[in-house]
Amino acid sequence: MALIKSVHGISPKMGENCFLAENCTLIGDVEMGNDCSIWFNAVVRGDVNSIRMGNKVNIQDGAVIHCTYQKTKVYLGNNVSVGHNAIVHGCTVHDNVLIGMGAIVMDNCEIGSNTIIAAGAVVLEGTKVEAGSVYAGVPAKKVKDINPELMSGEIDRIANNYLMYSSWFKD
C-alpha cells in the first residue's frame, strides 16, 4: 500500500480512477485529478507547499515532485508525463507535456503546453519554456519546434500508455 501522510492536518486527495504503486509516497497538500498514476518509488511531497495535478498525469518510477517552503508551488496540467527519476520542483507545467527521464525542472519555471523536456535536461530556475517546443541540454535550450508526430507519437502515446499500464495493477 502506498505511503500516504498528512501534514498539519492536510491529506492528499485523489480523483477517480487513480493508481498508486505500493511503494510510492504522497505527503500533505497534494491534489490529483482523474486517471492519474504515481509509480514505484515516486515521491510527491506537498509538505512545504501545494502540489496540484490535472487529469491523466503520470509520475513515473523514482520521480520527485516538491516545492520550496513558502515560496513555490507545483502545478501540473492535464496529460502530463514525468519520466523516470525526473525532478519537478516548484514550477508550473501546462497541458500536454512530456518531461523526460532524469530531467530537472527548477523553481519558478513555466513549461508551455505541447512541449517536450528531453531526457537529462536541466531547466534552470525561472526559465520560461516556449509552448510547442523541444528543450534539451544542460542548461536546457530550445532545440526545435514540436511537430505533430512528436505530439501524437510521444506526448499522447506515453500519457495514454501509462493510463493503460495502471489498469494492469488494479483489482
Q: What is the pLDDT of residues 82-137, one digit of tens each?
A: 999 999 999 999 999 999 999 999 999 999 999 999 999 999 999 999 999 999 99
The mean per-residue pLDDT over the stretch 13-29 comes to 97
Name the nearest CA neighbour of 103 among 85, 126, 77, 78: 85
The backbone torsions φ and ψ at residue 48, rounded to the nearest 5 degrees and listed phi first, read -105, -15
Residue 86 domain flag: yes
How many alpha carbons lie under 13 Å from residue 37 in its C-beta half-sphere? 26
CATH code: domain of residue 9: 2.160.10.10
Residue 157 domain flag: yes
Residue 171 domain flag: no
**What's the confidence (pLDDT) of residue 148?**
82
**What's the confidence (pLDDT) of residue 149?**
82
Q: Are strands 133-136 and 141-145 parallel, antiparallel or unpaired?
A: antiparallel
Model confidence band, residue 171 (pLDDT cutoffs 50, 70, 90): low
Give per-residue pLDDT as tens, 127-168: 999 999 999 999 999 999 998 887 888 999 999 999 999 999
Q: Are strands 37-38 and 58-59 parallel, antiparallel or unpaired?
A: parallel
**What's the confidence (pLDDT) of residue 1?**
87
Segments forming the whole domain that contains residue 14 = 3-166
Residue 88 domain flag: yes
Residue 79 domain flag: yes
Q: Domain total for the chain?
A: 1
Residue 20 domain flag: yes
The mean per-residue pLDDT over the stretch 73-90 comes to 98
**Three cell numbers written together for 68:** 520550496
- In contact, 76 and 93? CB cutoff 8 Å: yes
Residue 54 domain flag: yes
Q: Can the peptide bond before residue 148 be classed as cis, meaning omega within 30 degrees of 0?
A: no
Name the nearest CA neighbour of 11 among 41, 40, 51, 39: 51
Residue 95 domain flag: yes
Instruction: Report the C-alpha gap between 6 and 43 in whole angstroms.
Output: 14
Name the nearest CA neighbour of 123 among 107, 143, 112: 107
* pLDDT at 66 > cutoff 80: yes
